[in-house]
Amino acid sequence: MAGLAFPNVIAVFPGQGSQTVGMGKDLYENFSIAREIFEEASDAISVDLKKLCFDGPASDLTLTENTQPCLLVTSVAAFRVAQKELDFAPGVTAGHSLGEYSALVANGSLEISTATRWVRERGAAMQRAVPAGAGSMAAVMGMEDAIVQRLCSKATELAHEDRIRQGSTSPVEAVVEPANFNAPGQVVIAGSDDGVKKALELLKSDSEFSGGKAIPLQVSAPFHCRLMKPARDRMHQVFEATAFKPNTPLFPYVPNRTGRLTGEAGVVLGLLEEQVDHPVLWKQSVMALLEGPYNKAIEFGPGKVLTGLIKRIATQSSRNLSLANVSDSSGIKSLDAFLKS
């Protein structure tokens, strides 16, 4: 790849939840490469992504099938601007859930048009996988991963027993599982609505889980748990039907599914498929990167969710890591000095 590489830098890309009305507008207005990315992505799915990103309304932007392509195009636009203006090329890329697609576009594995079509389909499939109101998610804080796993197992068992007693005929399996291992002491759980409620009750009533607390999340579906199997199956069909095969990455990335560095093109689609109904190993991914030669991380796209999580993980690991965010022209301007520091 032409341009000056920054092998000590990690480029990260946010997932669903970081979206905000107005995202990407400044980049679009100030950089031709950003306009090209927005136009190419919009043309790929015949949707005006500019209007959704810049004007909303929020109710439309937060629909999963809209959120995913909008976050993808905004994050990739920010990265491409840095690439063109600053000759930027990181040592590695990583993305949280949907952000993994952005990371793969950034490292050359996927084309923006292909990725946009795929995440649009991914968002729709994830929304269809579970009937509205039948699934939920919650962020559990203050407990080790193994204890959260026991919490989920016990809640699943109790929810299943309740259904038997009540003679429930719900088409959705009674289950709750870890969905996102985000940082030390922060795990998001997902599953059937009754399964998640049981987990929240256990946090208050069972001494085994004392010290933990949870915050229910306002989400449209229980992502990254086994209830997403229909969405995974749909993505398998999408990948099987495509003539496009991922390119060899220009620089490595860390898949959510494994939490380990890879540069293989042949594993990309399989890992994206499995990612849908398996937990996001974000904490494990960052910890793996902290063992490498990286001392800076940049979040491309709206918000600062990932840099916040990375800071917590690095602190826990006693590592010094400089952090930056790029979502507009001011971020691009400050990035130059950040990279040279």
- 224 is an active site residue: yes
Q: How far apart (Å, rounded) are the C-alpha atoms in residues 49 and 105? A: 17
Longest dimension (CA), the chain: 65
Three-state DSSP class for residue 241: helix
Q: How far apart (Å, rounded) are the C-alpha atoms in residues 207 and 64? A: 37
- Of 97, 136, 192, 327, the catalytic one is 97
- Of 102, 224, 278, 327, the catalytic one is 224
Q: Which of 264, 326, 293 is nearest to 84 (CA)?
A: 326
List the alpha helices (DSSP H) in 3-130.
25-30, 32-45, 49-55, 58-61, 64-86, 99-106, 112-128
Chain center to CA of 39: 23
**How many Cα atoms within 13 Å fall on the side-chain side of residue 13?**
33
Helices vs. strands in the chain: H and E counts, helices first: 14, 9
Count of CB atoms situated within 10 Å of the CB of 167: 6
Q: Which residues are catalytically annotated? A: 97, 224
